[in-house]
Protein backbone atom coordinates (compact mmCIF):
# COMPACT_ATOMS: atom_id res chain seq x y z
CA UNK A 1 0.00 0.00 0.00
CA UNK A 2 1.01 3.61 -0.53
CA UNK A 3 1.07 5.94 2.46
CA UNK A 4 1.39 9.71 2.22
CA UNK A 5 2.79 11.63 5.18
CA UNK A 6 3.24 15.38 5.51
CA UNK A 7 4.37 18.08 7.89
CA UNK A 8 5.50 21.67 7.57
CA UNK A 9 9.10 20.50 7.74
CA UNK A 10 11.35 17.90 9.34
CA UNK A 11 9.25 17.16 12.41
CA UNK A 12 6.99 14.58 10.80
CA UNK A 13 10.06 12.43 10.15
CA UNK A 14 9.98 11.55 13.85
CA UNK A 15 6.66 9.85 13.05
CA UNK A 16 8.07 8.28 9.88
CA UNK A 17 10.96 6.88 11.91
CA UNK A 18 8.45 5.01 14.08
CA UNK A 19 6.40 3.94 11.05
CA UNK A 20 9.49 2.32 9.56
CA UNK A 21 9.71 0.10 12.64
CA UNK A 22 6.06 -1.00 12.51
CA UNK A 23 5.06 -1.06 8.83
CA UNK A 24 6.31 -3.60 6.31
CA UNK A 25 5.67 -3.93 2.60
CA UNK A 26 4.53 -0.33 2.05
CA UNK A 27 5.69 2.74 0.15
CA UNK A 28 5.91 5.88 2.30
CA UNK A 29 5.86 9.24 0.53
CA UNK A 30 6.85 12.11 2.81
CA UNK A 31 6.28 15.78 1.97
CA UNK A 32 8.02 18.49 3.97
CA UNK A 33 6.19 21.72 3.16
CA UNK A 34 9.15 23.90 4.06
CA UNK A 35 8.10 26.60 1.56
CA UNK A 36 5.16 27.38 3.84
CA UNK A 37 6.73 26.62 7.23
CA UNK A 38 6.11 27.16 10.06
CA UNK A 39 2.43 26.19 10.13
CA UNK A 40 2.11 27.18 13.79
CA UNK A 41 2.11 30.85 12.86
CA UNK A 42 -0.32 30.57 9.91
CA UNK A 43 -4.09 31.05 9.90
CA UNK A 44 -6.45 28.10 10.00
CA UNK A 45 -7.58 28.86 6.44
CA UNK A 46 -3.99 28.86 5.17
CA UNK A 47 -3.23 25.54 6.85
CA UNK A 48 -6.37 23.97 5.36
CA UNK A 49 -5.32 25.16 1.90
CA UNK A 50 -1.79 23.77 2.32
CA UNK A 51 -3.13 20.44 3.61
CA UNK A 52 -5.58 19.98 0.75
CA UNK A 53 -2.95 20.89 -1.85
CA UNK A 54 -0.49 18.34 -0.46
CA UNK A 55 -3.15 15.65 -0.27
CA UNK A 56 -4.14 16.29 -3.88
CA UNK A 57 -0.47 16.01 -4.89
CA UNK A 58 -0.05 12.70 -3.04
CA UNK A 59 -3.23 11.24 -4.54
CA UNK A 60 -2.41 12.37 -8.07
CA UNK A 61 1.27 11.45 -8.09
CA UNK A 62 1.44 8.45 -5.74
CA UNK A 63 -2.10 7.04 -5.60
CA UNK A 64 -2.01 6.90 -1.81
CA UNK A 65 -4.25 4.55 0.19
CA UNK A 66 -3.63 6.33 3.50
CA UNK A 67 -2.63 9.78 4.70
CA UNK A 68 -0.83 10.58 7.94
CA UNK A 69 -1.02 14.21 9.00
CA UNK A 70 2.25 14.16 10.93
CA UNK A 71 1.72 17.64 12.29
CA UNK A 72 -0.27 18.64 15.37
CA UNK A 73 -1.03 22.06 13.94
CA UNK A 74 -2.34 20.74 10.61
CA UNK A 75 -4.37 18.08 12.41
CA UNK A 76 -6.02 20.67 14.61
CA UNK A 77 -6.80 22.99 11.71
CA UNK A 78 -7.55 20.68 8.80
CA UNK A 79 -8.28 17.05 9.76
CA UNK A 80 -12.08 17.50 9.66
CA UNK A 81 -11.96 19.13 6.22
CA UNK A 82 -9.63 16.41 4.90
CA UNK A 83 -11.87 13.60 6.14
CA UNK A 84 -14.95 15.25 4.64
CA UNK A 85 -13.24 15.84 1.30
CA UNK A 86 -11.60 12.39 1.02
CA UNK A 87 -14.01 9.92 2.68
CA UNK A 88 -12.44 6.85 1.03
CA UNK A 89 -8.93 7.68 2.21
CA UNK A 90 -7.54 6.35 5.50
CA UNK A 91 -6.59 9.53 7.37
CA UNK A 92 -4.71 9.51 10.68
CA UNK A 93 -3.89 12.72 12.51
CA UNK A 94 -1.55 13.75 15.29
CA UNK A 95 -2.88 15.00 18.62
CA UNK A 96 -1.10 15.85 21.87
CA UNK A 97 -0.79 12.81 24.16
CA UNK A 98 -2.53 14.43 27.11
CA UNK A 99 -4.37 11.33 28.29
CA UNK A 100 -1.28 9.10 28.59
CA UNK A 101 0.56 12.01 30.19
CA UNK A 102 -2.11 12.39 32.86
CA UNK A 103 -2.11 8.66 33.50
CA UNK A 104 1.67 8.64 33.86
CA UNK A 105 2.05 11.74 36.04
CA UNK A 106 2.51 11.17 39.78
CA UNK A 107 2.38 14.86 40.71
CA UNK A 108 -0.68 15.40 38.47
CA UNK A 109 1.11 18.43 37.08
CA UNK A 110 1.49 18.06 33.34
CA UNK A 111 3.24 20.40 30.94
CA UNK A 112 2.45 20.79 27.26
CA UNK A 113 4.72 22.37 24.70
CA UNK A 114 3.05 23.20 21.39
CA UNK A 115 2.69 25.77 18.64
CA UNK A 116 0.31 28.70 19.14
CA UNK A 117 -2.04 27.28 16.49
CA UNK A 118 -2.30 23.93 18.29
CA UNK A 119 -2.98 25.50 21.69
CA UNK A 120 -5.63 27.79 20.21
CA UNK A 121 -7.28 25.04 18.17
CA UNK A 122 -10.77 23.80 18.96
CA UNK A 123 -9.71 20.13 19.04
CA UNK A 124 -7.04 20.79 21.67
CA UNK A 125 -9.28 22.98 23.81
CA UNK A 126 -12.09 20.42 23.78
CA UNK A 127 -9.62 17.67 24.71
CA UNK A 128 -8.33 19.68 27.68
CA UNK A 129 -11.88 20.45 28.85
CA UNK A 130 -12.89 16.80 28.57
CA UNK A 131 -9.87 15.49 30.48
CA UNK A 132 -10.08 18.23 33.11
CA UNK A 133 -13.60 17.06 33.88
CA UNK A 134 -12.42 13.45 34.26
CA UNK A 135 -9.14 13.94 36.13
CA UNK A 136 -7.81 16.21 38.83
CA UNK A 137 -4.79 17.60 37.02
CA UNK A 138 -3.02 20.93 36.59
CA UNK A 139 -1.95 21.63 33.00
CA UNK A 140 0.89 24.05 32.24
CA UNK A 141 0.63 25.21 28.62
CA UNK A 142 3.48 26.85 26.75
CA UNK A 143 3.48 28.11 23.17
CA UNK A 144 7.00 27.74 21.76
CA UNK A 145 7.31 30.50 19.18
CA UNK A 146 10.43 30.03 17.06
CA UNK A 147 11.36 26.55 18.28
CA UNK A 148 10.39 24.84 15.02
CA UNK A 149 12.68 27.19 13.09
CA UNK A 150 15.57 26.43 15.47
CA UNK A 151 15.10 22.71 14.90
CA UNK A 152 14.76 23.11 11.12
CA UNK A 153 18.11 24.93 11.19
CA UNK A 154 19.73 22.06 13.07
CA UNK A 155 20.05 24.09 16.28
CA UNK A 156 18.74 21.45 18.67
CA UNK A 157 21.13 22.23 21.53
CA UNK A 158 22.73 25.58 20.77
CA UNK A 159 22.90 28.31 23.44
CA UNK A 160 19.99 30.18 21.82
CA UNK A 161 17.76 27.08 21.87
CA UNK A 162 18.71 26.28 25.47
CA UNK A 163 17.92 29.89 26.45
CA UNK A 164 14.49 29.68 24.80
CA UNK A 165 13.73 26.40 26.57
CA UNK A 166 14.91 27.81 29.91
CA UNK A 167 12.45 30.70 29.62
CA UNK A 168 9.56 28.38 28.74
CA UNK A 169 10.33 25.53 31.12
CA UNK A 170 11.29 27.43 34.28
CA UNK A 171 7.68 27.66 35.56
CA UNK A 172 7.18 23.91 34.94
CA UNK A 173 10.42 23.09 36.75
CA UNK A 174 9.43 25.24 39.74
CA UNK A 175 5.93 23.66 39.84
CA UNK A 176 7.43 20.13 39.87
CA UNK A 177 5.88 19.09 36.58
CA UNK A 178 6.92 15.46 36.08
CA UNK A 179 5.44 14.80 32.63
CA UNK A 180 5.63 16.97 29.51
CA UNK A 181 3.60 16.45 26.35
CA UNK A 182 5.53 17.21 23.18
CA UNK A 183 2.66 18.73 21.21
CA UNK A 184 4.58 19.16 17.96
CA UNK A 185 6.31 16.43 15.97
CA UNK A 186 9.47 18.57 15.82
CA UNK A 187 9.88 18.68 19.58
CA UNK A 188 11.23 15.14 20.21
CA UNK A 189 14.35 16.41 18.45
CA UNK A 190 15.05 18.69 21.43
CA UNK A 191 14.09 16.06 24.01
CA UNK A 192 17.60 15.85 25.47
CA UNK A 193 17.75 19.63 25.80
CA UNK A 194 14.36 19.71 27.52
CA UNK A 195 15.50 17.16 30.10
CA UNK A 196 18.72 19.12 30.61
CA UNK A 197 16.79 22.31 31.35
CA UNK A 198 14.13 20.68 33.59
CA UNK A 199 16.94 19.07 35.66
CA UNK A 200 14.69 16.77 37.73
CA UNK A 201 13.45 13.49 36.17
CA UNK A 202 10.69 14.11 33.65
CA UNK A 203 8.80 11.87 31.23
CA UNK A 204 8.38 13.21 27.69
CA UNK A 205 5.22 12.05 25.91
CA UNK A 206 5.13 11.78 22.12
CA UNK A 207 2.67 9.88 19.94
CA UNK A 208 4.74 8.49 17.04
CA UNK A 209 4.38 4.86 18.17
CA UNK A 210 0.64 5.21 18.76
CA UNK A 211 0.17 6.75 15.30
CA UNK A 212 2.12 3.92 13.68
CA UNK A 213 0.05 1.25 15.45
CA UNK A 214 -3.16 2.99 14.41
CA UNK A 215 -2.08 3.14 10.78
CA UNK A 216 -1.14 -0.55 10.84
CA UNK A 217 -4.52 -1.48 12.33
CA UNK A 218 -6.42 0.47 9.65
CA UNK A 219 -4.29 -1.01 6.87
CA UNK A 220 -5.02 -4.51 8.18
CA UNK A 221 -8.73 -3.74 7.83
CA UNK A 222 -8.10 -3.02 4.14
CA UNK A 223 -6.34 -6.38 3.68
CA UNK A 224 -2.73 -5.30 4.12
CA UNK A 225 -0.25 -8.10 4.84
CA UNK A 226 2.52 -6.61 6.97
CA UNK A 227 5.57 -8.21 5.36
CA UNK A 228 8.18 -7.34 2.78
CA UNK A 229 10.39 -4.33 2.14
CA UNK A 230 9.30 -0.78 2.89
CA UNK A 231 10.41 2.08 0.67
CA UNK A 232 10.67 5.71 1.80
CA UNK A 233 10.62 8.70 -0.53
CA UNK A 234 11.10 12.27 0.68
CA UNK A 235 10.21 15.51 -1.06
CA UNK A 236 10.28 19.13 0.06
CA UNK A 237 8.63 22.26 -1.28
CA UNK A 238 11.48 24.49 -0.10
CA UNK A 239 14.85 24.39 1.60
CA UNK A 240 15.58 21.47 3.90
CA UNK A 241 18.70 20.33 5.75
CA UNK A 242 19.81 16.88 4.49
CA UNK A 243 22.01 16.54 7.58
CA UNK A 244 18.95 16.78 9.83
CA UNK A 245 17.07 14.23 7.74
CA UNK A 246 20.02 11.86 8.16
CA UNK A 247 20.15 12.64 11.90
CA UNK A 248 16.47 11.74 12.38
CA UNK A 249 16.39 8.62 10.21
CA UNK A 250 19.93 7.38 10.79
CA UNK A 251 20.69 7.16 7.08
CA UNK A 252 21.01 9.31 3.99
CA UNK A 253 17.88 9.69 1.88
CA UNK A 254 17.67 11.46 -1.48
CA UNK A 255 15.34 14.46 -1.27
CA UNK A 256 13.35 15.67 -4.27
CA UNK A 257 12.28 19.29 -4.66
CA UNK A 258 8.64 19.61 -5.72
CA UNK A 259 6.16 22.37 -6.51
CA UNK A 260 2.61 22.00 -5.16
Q: With 80 as the cut, is the pLDDT of residue 87 above it? A: yes
Q: With 90 as the cut, is the pLDDT of residue 50 above it? A: yes
For the chain, what are the domain ranges? 2-94+208-257, 98-205
CB 232 within 8 A of CB 28: yes
Enumerate the active-site residues: 71, 184
Count of beta carbons in the 10 Å neighbourhood of residue 112: 26
Region 81-110: mean pLDDT is 95
Assign a CATH topology to domain 2-94+208-257: Rossmann fold (3.40.50)
Q: Which of 245, 241, 216 is closest to 230 using CA atoms?
A: 216
pLDDT for 150 equals 96
Beta bridge partners of residue 203, listed in sequence order: 179
Long-range contacts from 194-202, C-beta under 8 angstroms, 24+ separation: 194/113, 194/165, 194/169, 196/157, 196/162, 197/162, 197/165, 197/166, 197/169, 197/173, 198/169, 198/172, 198/173, 199/173, 200/173, 200/176, 202/177, 202/178
pLDDT tens, position by position, 23-36? 999 999 999 999 99
CA angle 25, 26, 31 (to 5 degrees): 155
Assign a CATH topology to domain 98-205: Rossmann fold (3.40.50)
pLDDT tens, position by position, 167-198? 999 999 999 999 999 999 999 999 999 999 99
Rounded Cα gap, residues 69 and 30, in angstroms: 10
Instruction: Give pTM, 2 decimals.
Output: 0.94
- The yes-or-no answer to whether 2-94+208-257 and 98-205 have a common fold is yes
Terminal-to-terminal C-alpha distance of the chain: 23
Amino acid sequence: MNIGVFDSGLGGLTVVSAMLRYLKGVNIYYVADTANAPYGEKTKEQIIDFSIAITEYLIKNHNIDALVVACNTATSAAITELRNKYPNLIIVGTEPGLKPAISHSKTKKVGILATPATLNGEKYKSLVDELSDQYSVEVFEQACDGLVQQIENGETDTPKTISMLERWLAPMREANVDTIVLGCTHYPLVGKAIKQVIVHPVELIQTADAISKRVLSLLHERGHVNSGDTQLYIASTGDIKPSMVEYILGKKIEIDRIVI
